[in-house]
Amino acid sequence: MDTPQKTVTQIETPVSKLKVENSPVFNYINSLSPITTVKSISNAQTFSSLSFTSPPPVFTTPHVASHKGSRFRSHSNSSDPSNKVVEEALPEKEPPQILNNDCLTTTTPRVTNDGACEDGETDLQKMCDDNVKRKSDTPDWETLISDSSDMLIYGSPNDSEAFRCFLQRSSDSKTRLCSGSKPALAPVSQSNEPESSDALSVLHRGVRRRCLDFEMPRNNNQTPRCVVPSIGLHLNAIAMSSKDNNNVSKEYSFTGNVKVGLQSSTTTPVLPSDDIVRENETREEAAGEEGLEEAPVSLALVESEQAGEGESSCKRCNCKKSKCLKLYCECFAAGVYCIEPCSCIDCFNKPIHEDTVLATRKQIESRNPLAFAPKVIRNSDSTIEVGEDASKTPASARHKRGCNCKKSNCLKKYCECYQSGVGCSINCRCEGCKNAFGRKDGSSFAGMDTEQDQENETSGKSGTTIPLPPSTPMPLRQPLAQLPISSNNMLPSQQSQQHLHGASLYNSQSFRKQDMGLMSQSRIETIAEERAEDIENFIHSPVTNINALSPNSKRVSLPHMDSTETTPWRRNGGRKLLLSSIPTFPSLTPHH
């Protein structure tokens, strides 16, 4: 009897009964015991609630095992514990409710006991005593707590910071972490949170977090970015398409995602969010299997980066009739939620309308799986880009579908190729192409020179306009930004699941993010190469064939090949490899 219940002893109730008989003291305790039992119950509830709702087996075990539980739990349960911890750490943010919960849940194990012990002092004292013993017995708690703190943080609203720290640790780019962290966190937390209390509350938290996160980042330093799009995330092929690029240059991007978060506070990246949420689920699942969890993180990171960068350029849309639910909307197209800076009217691209956004997105993807995929594909060179010029970019990158310019001569941003800072290619159906980054003819990139020359010859406007176009800037970052978006939506895990679809984009994005953020440049380069290969493969593959077959069709285009974007592809092929390689996750694990 007794022996078996050692674990129970911790729980207290059963033991108490047994012992009660033995000594008056126990009797006394017994009187108390009820309370304790209650606690235990409460704990159980909390745990159950926390872990379960969606919880993967992992969670279940942990919480059950619980208390001692172990790291595992802390990690896995990060949600719960994290929240608790966070709350404790950051009582401010979390509403009292949470605290209560925390008390209940946490009480047993640690802190609560000590400090909180609000409940019955006597009981608590006893409990504390017991706890003390327990602690002595299982110092793990503290350690766990401390250890888990990171994770906990993760889950909590504050997560962003903690998360960031992690990320930073794990990865290098701080910005990413900061910005990205949110999205990633949000998703994660959300997934977890729901367990704890109300899904809604969770969502709100998520939102808050994102907002906070965003703020945090800002505060931190990073830049005021819009940070907002991480949101993946966030976050969607990210979307990025040309815009993404813009993002890069401007802010957008993922930022977009990030933005989202900021936006209304609601959250962020629409798609990303959705995707994130989904992905979170899927991830968890997948993660369980593969340990993809990382992916999300990476995505988040990516997003964050983008967001961070994007921030500088926070993208904003000005939609009036599309409700920001069509690809006309840059934010939506980028897979991010609209945020405050947007001047849109009747905007539905907000976390509040997540369902609508997702549904719309699906609809669009059903029509064109690549709708949210990056528009620009880059070669290995793409990484190079550095700004200097576009000259390089153009060569390596190409617009999937190609442009259809007739009057702009591909010398203005009306041209997606030009806007993205890439040269026109065979896929383009443009007329009078003078793309400075590379003409459809083949006159290569470098446009500047050639173009200027030509322009000089043809028209005077050229020079200034061409160079100006941020095209250069765009291209550089674009990849990141873009990828993130789509990726946001689609987590790697999802990617794997989703396959090539739009998801692929996401995947790619996410991938990118990971790549970008986590991976060193060298890796990126390699990836880029891989991408190129993948792209080729893609082209050969049925899907790609589509593009090849119908270059004209806008949507047909391949799944993003962009260096940044392209990643996704490879992911398809080599995704796992990348993922596995991706450090992002690892960083998280360390926490364990």
Residues that bind DNA (CB under 7 A): 241, 243, 246, 317-324, 326-330, 333, 364, 367-368, 371, 375, 401, 403-409, 412-416, 419, 461, 465, 469, 549-550, 552-555
Residue 489's beta-bridge partner residues?
none
d(CA 266, CA 339): 9
Q: Name the helix (H) or strand (E) containing 535.
A: helix 521-540
Least CB distance to DNA at residue 332 (A): 8
- Which of 95/432 has CB closer to DNA? 432
- Which of 134/361 has CB closer to DNA? 361
Least CB distance to DNA at residue 145 (A): 47
d(CA 490, CA 486): 6
Least CB distance to DNA at residue 235 (A): 18
- Which of 404/537 has CB closer to DNA? 404
d(CA 150, CA 87): 13
Least CB distance to DNA at residue 222 (A): 24
The position carrying tokens 């992690």 is 166
- Which of 307/556 has CB closer to DNA? 556
Contact 157, 206 (CB under 8 A): no
Least CB distance to DNA at residue 579 (A): 28
Contact 207, 265 (CB under 8 A): yes
d(CA 339, CA 329): 12
Least CB distance to DNA at residue 85 (A): 41
**Residue 90 CB-density burial (10 A; 0-12 exposed, 13-18 middle, 19+ buried):** middle
- Which of 521/553 has CB closer to DNA? 553
Contact 117, 128 (CB under 8 A): yes
Least CB distance to DNA at residue 320 (A): 4
CA-to-CA dists, residue 125 to 9, 118, 119, 128, 132, angstroms: 16, 10, 10, 5, 10
Cis ω for the linkage preceding 233 (within 30 of 0): yes
d(CA 218, CA 439): 41
Least CB distance to DNA at residue 578 (A): 27
Q: Name the helix (H) or strand (E) containing 277.
A: helix 270-290
- Which of 40/360 has CB closer to DNA? 360
- Which of 289/346 has CB closer to DNA? 346
- Which of 45/318 has CB closer to DNA? 318
